Structure formats: structure tokens, C-alpha cells
Amino acid sequence: MFPIGRLAKATGVKVPTIRYYEQIGLLPEPERTAGNQRLYTQGTLERLAFIRHARDLGFPLEAIRELLSLSDRPGQSCAAADEIARRQLAVVEARMARLAALRDALQRMLDHCASGTIADCRVIEVLGDHGLCAHDHGAAEAGHPA
């Protein structure tokens, strides 16, 4: 049995995040000591490590919930898990394409900058006129709120 601090250290997940995962049902409610301290099992540690790894790979919490549900039924076909992973791969590939377009736009700005004065600066000019960009890379696409 692990107290929450040891569980956090063993998995690299912060204590408030562990509590949050309990609140939303990704982790089971832990046993409690007489002093009301949380105590976690090896199974919970493994489940939390699974969640951490899935988060590191960018899976959203709902997909992790689906994957955990599937992992609780080991005799089932893995087709559903494969589909969840395919969806995540598509998200990653789309993000990579957007980042490549952003990289290219930034590189073009720098390539066309004469490094003179701000009045002639291509970086300032392009940032002031989105129409000078080769691709649409709006704030929402870049992962930033508008």
C-alpha cells in the first residue's frame, strides 16, 4: 500500500492530479487509514502509470477512459483500442502538419528580413498583415485561444 506522496513520486504524477483522476473516476477511491490518509494498491499504481503514459502520448482523458475500460476486459478484441490509437495518431499528424506550416512561415519571414530597421522589418510586416502568409494558421489551429 502506498500513501499518495509515494504514489505521486513513483509515477511522476502530482498529488492534485491524482485527486482529480479520483474525482472524475479514472482512479478508484482509495482505502483510508484510521487517520483518513489515502492508501493505494499496486493495481492503482499500475493504472496511474498507464494514465500518465497515455497522457504523455497526448491521449485526451475521454480516450484514456475508453482504453481503461477496454483494459478491464482483457478477453475482448483489441480493435477498439486500435481505433482509439488511430484517432490519436491522426490528431498528432494533423498537429505536426500545422507545426510544419508554422515553421515554414517563420522561416520565410526570417529569410526575407534584411535585418535593417524596424520600418523595413519583414517579420513586423508579415505579423501585421496575415495576408502575406502562405498558409492559414489561425490561433485556434495553433492550439491557442483566439
Which of the four pLDDT bands, split at 50, 70 and 90, describes residue 113?
confident
Place of cell 504523455: 56
pLDDT at 143: 52
Q: What is the mean pLDDT of residues 104-112?
A: 85
Give the integer Cα–Cα distance in Å for 42 and 143. Answer: 36
Q: Which of 2-6, 77-81, 129-133 has the lowest mean pLDDT?
A: 129-133
> How many CA atoms within 13 Å lie on the side-chain side of 27?
30
**Which cell is 68 given?**
481503461
With bands split at pLDDT 50, 70 and 90, how would you rate the model's confidence at 38? very high
Q: Domain extents for the chain?
A: 2-71, 94-132
Q: Name which of 25-29, 73-77, 136-140 the model is least confident about.
A: 136-140
Query: What pLDDT is attached to residue 138?
Result: 59
Q: What percent of the chain has pLDDT over 70?
A: 91
Pick the CATH number of 2-71 from 1.10.3130.10, 3.40.50.11930, 1.10.1660.10, 1.20.1250.20: 1.10.1660.10
Report, in angstroms and rounded to the nearest whole number, the Rg of the chain calculated over CA atoms: 23
pLDDT of residue 100: 95
Per-residue pLDDT reduced to its tens digit, 52-97: 999 999 999 999 999 999 998 999 999 999 999 999 999 999 999 9
79-114 b/e (C-beta count within 10 Å ≥ 16 → b) = eeeeebbeebeeeeeeeeebeebeeebeebbeeeee
Instruction: Give the residue-averaged pLDDT of 91-108.
Output: 92
Question: What is the crossing angle of helices 15-23 and 4-11, to 10°?
Answer: 100
Q: How far apart are CA 125 and CA 4, in angstroms?
A: 53
Collapsing DSSP to helix, strand or coil, 116 comes out as: coil
pLDDT of residue 97: 95
Overall pTM > 0.85: no
What's the residue count for the chain?
146
pLDDT reported for residue 111: 83
Contacts of 106 (CB under 8 A, 6+ apart): none
57 vs 51: CA distance, rounded Å: 10
Give the whole-angstrom CA distance, residue 131 versus residue 53. 40
